[in-house]
Amino acid sequence: MFNLILFGPPGAGKGTQAIKIAEKFGWKHISTGDILRAEVTQGTPLGTKVRAVMEEGHLVSDELLIAIMESVFIKNNTVKGFVLDGFPRTINQAQELDEMLHKLGQKVSLVLALEVNEDELLKRLLNRAREQGRKDDDGEIIKNRLRQYHHHTKPLIEYYKNKKLLKEVYGVGTIDDIFNALCKAIVD
């Protein structure tokens, strides 16, 4: 089983690329942001709990995310591989993921980090706010999400570098060029 983590700041294009990679390799795409947004839209107890946190651009608790991922792994035990998009986002989540995979006789296969400069990220997130009306994609909230990324998520680069699992891919250019670079990094 191939367990790929697609890593990067908000606005790096993880979602778009994760869908394409999952389709090409026949892997299951897991976006924790999509899972949480669906809970919010459906008004489930979990959705009600996380709505405000998400709308402010803060991170949902590790405990909830780990419970979500445990059920994802239980439900999808026959897939050939996973493309994880938006998880892990903290060192604690990464450690818990290692443990969950270990229990299943699995491990993280590769981490692909999309590199995009801050000006480009801001531009993309503001555009997405206009086009898709994502509530967490506007002004101050965008800055919050980038702050959360720098504080909690960016340290994962070192975590996976130390495990020799990280490859960095330049994330500015056409969708197809970036996709090709990611695919090359997977098969190399």
In the list 12, 33, 94, 112, the residue contacting ligand AMP (rule: CB under 6 A) is: 33
Please work out the total of residues on this chain that contact ligand AMP, with binding judged by CB under 6 A: 17
Sheet harboring 110-115: ordered strands across? 28-31, 81-85, 2-7, 110-115, 166-170
What mask, x for binding ligand AMP by CB under 6 A, covers residues 78 to 117? --------xx-x---x------------------------
Residue 130 known to be catalytic: no
| Residue 139 structure tokens | 């002004």
CB of 71 to ligand AMP, least distance (A): 14
Q: Do 90 and 59 form a contact (C-beta atoms < 8 A)?
A: yes
CB of 187 to ligand AMP, least distance (A): 26
Neighbours of 145 (CB within 10 A): 22
Nearest of 56, 93, 48 to residue 72 by alpha carbon? 93
Among candidate residues 14, 37, 124, 167, the one labeled active-site is 14
| Stretch 113-132 residues interacting with ligand AMP (CB under 6 A) | none
Question: What element of type H or E holds 96?
Answer: helix 91-103
In the list 1, 2, 47, 60, the residue contacting ligand AMP (rule: CB under 6 A) is: 60
Residues carrying an active site annotation? 14, 89, 128, 134, 145
